[in-house]
Chains A and B, each alone.
Chain A
Amino acid sequence: MIDPAKIRKDFPILSRRVRGKPLVYLDNAATTQKPRAVIESLVSFYERHNANVHRGVHELSEEATNLVETTRAKVASLIGARHAHCVIFTRNTTESINLVAHAWGRKFLKEGDEILLTEIEHHSNLVPWQMIAREKGVKLRFIPLAHDGTLDVDSARQMLSPRIKLIAFSALSNALGSVSPIDKILAMARSIGAKTLIDAAQWAPHRPIDVRAWSCDFLAFSAHKMLGPTGIGVLYGKEDILEAMDPFLGGGDMIRQVFLDHSTYNVLPYKFEAGTPNIADAAAFDAAIDYLRGVGFDEIERHERALLGRALSVLGSMPEVEMYGPKDLDRQACLVSFNIAGLHPHDASTAIDLEGIAVRAGHHCCQPLMAKLKIPGTVRASFYLYNTLEEIDLLAAAVSKAARFFKKEEAIA
């Protein structure tokens, strides 16, 4: 069993106060806090190992290169990738998806092709496809949202055709917390020979990944949502597909030989890593993975289920609270998305913030989803391994107080 009191000691920021009250950090779907080991790893890199990678023959350069490559191998083992060179470092999930849209989409999509997305996608798994679709004359289609807050895969079956060349979807919705029917979608893709991209930005911090079991073609996630530093993201791709793709950005590190009029490209993964990479953050990401593995994803899941269960029951029993998403422990994970009836989510979250509780309010980079739900946005409280049941109760108390205040002021009916 996770002992949050013990875990919290590893996160220096969790002992600070906000607005005169102890910080309650429930914005983990946006970014997570960092354990001391990650912070120390960053400091240690700059104090002891700082050098550029892959170029120098001097000792420091070799150390820096080894640190980045150690993380790459660890990421590969974390997600079950057979080869470390199929793990490409990017800045974040968004850049990973853009890399696929440009380097794969530009080369392999043609007019009349279709890309199947879902109605719950984060803008980062929608806008890159809109851009490439416009350029190439490709049609975007969407797996619809069902009334229970999950994806309506059955109705998506009717859209299937050989024209669909890619199905790109998030494993876990950042706006509703709904868990996607990953296996069903992957099976649909296989039945029509479409490539698959899984946006695992919300999944990777909380649940184990096995890209060989999923047999997905691409998978993207960010270190900063899983205890790691900002500015380092991952794109996993199947080796043959990555090999067949053109480079994304041109420049240093991604080349083999350069002539004035042409160049030949480096091998994987460097073909996709132009310029000096984010060395320090890549090195420190290693410590985040060690930390998560030390706790164990089984334990993390058990703890988060308890937190979600408490949130669904205390917030769900408040008449003034409207909850979105499946509201079910088997189909929802890690976060609750809700509104206080009659109150704009920004007013609600400001009132909650005044209690020292950090939640996110707004459209969560999912404007089409909010339009479908006919709401301007929601308040989102998202959990992680260091949150406690008491913090969920503090959130519920703050929600209740906000509802009372605005009702008393007759601002809401």
Chain B
Amino acid sequence: MAEGDSELQDLYRDVLLDYFKSAAHKGAIAEADIHSHGVNPVCGDEIEISASLTKDGVQEGRRLARLRYSGHGCVISQASSAMMAEAMEGLSVAEARELARAFKSMMLRETPPEALPERLGEARAFEGVRKYPMRVKCATLAWNTLLEGLKAPSDGAASTEFKEK
């Protein structure tokens, strides 16, 4: 590591850069039950999330079978989107909501990184971002956009919009 890179290294940790490079959950689902669009007007970052739900059970108990995202943004927002997509698949709507709230509350310094659920262990890599309030919104965009999408009615036709301040 070159001298003076320590702050950069602390902010852009390896885990975060790995997720940034990952294309595992990029794309869109044609017959999606959840479709949500998010914009951060500060930087113009944009994300489209589509997800399919399992058919069984009532809305809160249905599970996120597949989740894909597309859009453009910085390393932090893209890494966060990738990590979110990976963590969410397989969770029920209620569990997904809870997990997104746990991530947000860590980013907003309401809870320490150590309090993150095990499923989000790698999200500790975002700890360094918390020092830069202007960048926290980059990290939370995907999660806020999904939370909006989870409000969509169970018939799946509606799409939602998350508007960051």
* Chain A residues proximal to chain B, CB less than 8 Å: 19, 343-347, 350-351, 354, 361-363, 367, 370, 376-377, 401-402, 404-406, 409-411
A362–B44 touching, CB < 8 Å: yes
Expressed in whole angstroms, the Cα–Cα distance for A347 and B132 within the complex equals: 12
Chain A residues near B11 (CB-CB < 8 A): 350, 354
Chain B positions near chain A (C-beta within 8 angstroms)? 2, 4-5, 7-8, 11-12, 14, 17, 20-21, 42-45, 72-76, 132, 135, 138
- On whether the beta carbons of B73 and A401 are closer than 8 Å, the reply is no
Inter-subunit contact B12/A411 (CB<8 Å): yes
Complex Cα distance A363/B73, Å? 12
- Complex Cα spacing A367 to B11, Å: 28
Name the one of B5, B20, B42 contacting A362, with C-beta atoms under 8 angstroms: B42
- Nearest Cβ on chain B to A307's Cβ, whole angstroms: 25
Q: How far is the CA of A406 from the CA of B9 in the complex (A)?
A: 10
With beta carbons under 8 angstroms apart, the residue of B4, B20, B72, B135 that contacts A350 is B135
Min CB gap A16→B, angstroms: 18
Contact A377–B135 (Cβ < 8 Å): no
A410 to B22, CA, bound (A): 12
25 A-B residue pairings within 8 Å (CB atoms): A344-B72, A346-B76, A346-B138, A347-B74, A347-B75, A347-B76, A350-B11, A354-B7, A354-B8, A362-B42, A362-B44, A363-B43, A363-B44, A367-B44, A376-B43, A404-B2, A405-B2, A405-B8, A405-B12, A406-B12, A409-B17, A411-B12, A411-B20, A411-B21, A411-B75
Q: Which residues of B contact A351 (CB under 8 A)?
A: 8
Q: Which chain A residue has the least Cβ–Cβ distance from B138?
A: A346
Which residues does chain A contribute within 8 Å of B4, judged by CB atoms? 401
Q: Which residue of A lies closest to B9 (CB)?
A: A405
B21: which A residues are within 8 A, CB to CB?
Answer: 410-411
Q: Which 3 A-B pairs have the closest CB atoms?
A: A344-B74, A346-B74, A354-B7
Measured CB to CB, the nearest residue on chain B to A346 is: B74
User: Measured between C-beta atoms, what is the minimum distance from A352 to chain B in Å?
Assistant: 11
Closest chain-A Cβ to B35's Cβ sits at a distance in Å of: 22
Report chain A residues within 8 Å CB of B7: 19, 354
> Bound state CA distance, A370 and B75, in angstroms?
19
How many Å lie between the Cα of A351 and that of B73 in the bound state?
A: 16
Known contacts A343-B75, A347-B74, then 7 further A-B pairs from the complex at CB < 8 Å, ordered by chain A residue: A345-B43, A347-B75, A354-B11, A404-B2, A405-B8, A406-B75, A409-B12
The residue on A at minimum CB distance from B3 is A401
CB-defined contacts of B72 to chain A, threshold 8 Å:
344, 376
Smallest CB separation, B51 vs chain A (Å):
24
Highest count of chain B CB atoms <10 Å: which of A19, A350, A354: A350
A282 to B47, CA, bound (A): 43
Complex interface: chain A residues within 8 A of B14 (CB): 409
Is the CB–CB distance between B44 and A376 below 8 Å? yes
Q: Which residues of A contact B20 (CB under 8 A)?
A: 411
- Whether the Cβ atoms of A346 and B8 lie closer than 8 Å is no
A377 and B132 within 8 A (CB): no
Residue of B with least CB distance to A19: B7
Measured CB to CB, the closest approach of chain B to A175, in angstroms, equals 12
A367, A401, A402, A411 pick with most chain B CB within 10 angstroms: A411
Please, how many angstroms separate the alpha-carbon atoms of A405 and B2 in the complex? 9
Most buried by B among A346, A351, A370: A346
Q: Would you call B43 and A362 a contact (CB within 8 A)?
A: yes
A347-B74, A362-B42, A409-B17 given; A401·B135 CB < 8 A: no
